[in-house]
Amino acid sequence: MLRAEVEERAAGEAAAAGLSEAAHLELLELCEEQFTHLEKLQNEIILCEPEFSENLQEQSVNGLIATEAELKQWLSVEPSLLPSNSEILLQAGKEEMLKLCSELEMVVSCYEAKRDKLKETKELEQKWLEEKKKVLVAVTNHFERLKMEKEKFSGHSILLDTKEKIQKMKAYHEKLMETLGDVLEVHVPLLQNETSSSKKKKVLMNKALETPHDPYVTIDHTFWPPYVEMLLRHGIAVRHQENNFKIRLENFF
């Protein structure tokens, strides 16, 4: 069945190629000879196949040896053209050339697509390079401008800048002092009556003289806190060791 299909296909190709009757017959005879030879080889292979062996390793080794021997035999055979008719050879060569041309066209198409892709990549890379060059030029110009400004920066300008900073510090100091004055005015007000300080000192002195065994005076709201702090800092009065809200005059003898 396979032989009939091949012969029918060969006849169709010969008719389509416009071969003569003699070339057509020669091609059919060549196909018949090749199939006969193929059937003979298949029969020989079937007859030469070894019987099934339970030792799979030995069977594999024998198959490998047979395959190597067959390979050496085929390598020693020189290939030769099967048909001798020039008309058949010309048609076969024509078909191979057409096939080769088709393959070459596919290769050319692939390389053209690759060339277009590389061209597009090249354009993008060139655009990126131009942008980087522009950035480099801009940075270089900026650096040169800063360098020139630094060279022009004289000692006079440094002095003016220092004076300006001093003026700012003075203004900040004045503002800070004003804020501090406001805070003291709110939280540490001055005495409304200047004679109250002498009265407090008189109270401390009378307490020390009248009750020397208990000279401490209790601090209440009538005692101005800054005045009490001044007495303690200057060593005029001392606090009670157990009660911080009591003070007495320091012993001066």
* Tens digit of each residue's pLDDT (9 = 90 or more) over 109-162: 999 999 999 999 999 999 999 999 999 999 999 988 888 777 666 666 777 888
Q: Is residue 87 part of a domain?
A: no
Q: Which residues contact 23 (CB under 8 A, 6 or more apart)?
A: 14, 85, 87, 88
Residue 143 and residue 160 in one domain: no
Interatomic CA distance for residues 101 and 103, integer angstroms: 5
Confidence class of residue 2 from pLDDT cuts 50, 70 and 90? very low
Q: Order across the sheet with 217-218: list the strands.
A: 217-218, 246-249, 237-239
Which carries the bigger pLDDT value, residue 24 or residue 148? 148
How many domains in the chain?
Answer: 3
The confidence score (pLDDT) of residue 139 equals 92
pLDDT in the model for residue 94: 81
* CA Rg value for the chain: 61
Does 148 fall in a domain? yes
Flag whether pLDDT at 210 surpasses 90. no
- The pLDDT value recorded for residue 6 is 47
| Domain with 164 in it | 155-187
Q: Which residue has the higher pLDDT, 96 or 104?
A: 104
Summarize the confidence of residues 17-33 as an average pLDDT.
69
pLDDT at residue 107, rounded to an integer: 92
Q: Residue 214 domain-assigned? A: yes
169-193 residue pLDDT tens = 999 988 888 887 777 666 655 555 5
Per-residue pLDDT tens for 29-69?
777 777 787 777 777 767 766 555 566 777 777 778 877 87
- 121 lies in the same domain as 138: yes
Q: Residue 56 burial by CB count (10 A; 0-12/13-18/19+): exposed, middle or buried?
A: exposed
Residues 220 and 177 in one domain: no
**Residues ≥6 apart with Cβ < 8 Å to 83:** 26, 27, 30, 89, 92
CA distances, 171 to each of 146, 164, 176 (Å) = 32, 11, 9
Domain boundary among the residues 136, 153, 170 is at 153
22 found inside a domain: no
pLDDT at 1: 46
| Position 70 in a domain | no
Q: Tell me, what's the pLDDT at 196?
A: 60
Residue-wise pLDDT tens digits, 81-102: 556 666 766 777 788 888 889 9
Q: What pLDDT does 129 receive?
A: 92
Of all residues in the chain, the percent with pLDDT exceeding 90 is 17
Copy the structure tokens of residue 188: 């540490």
Residue 213 lies in a domain: yes
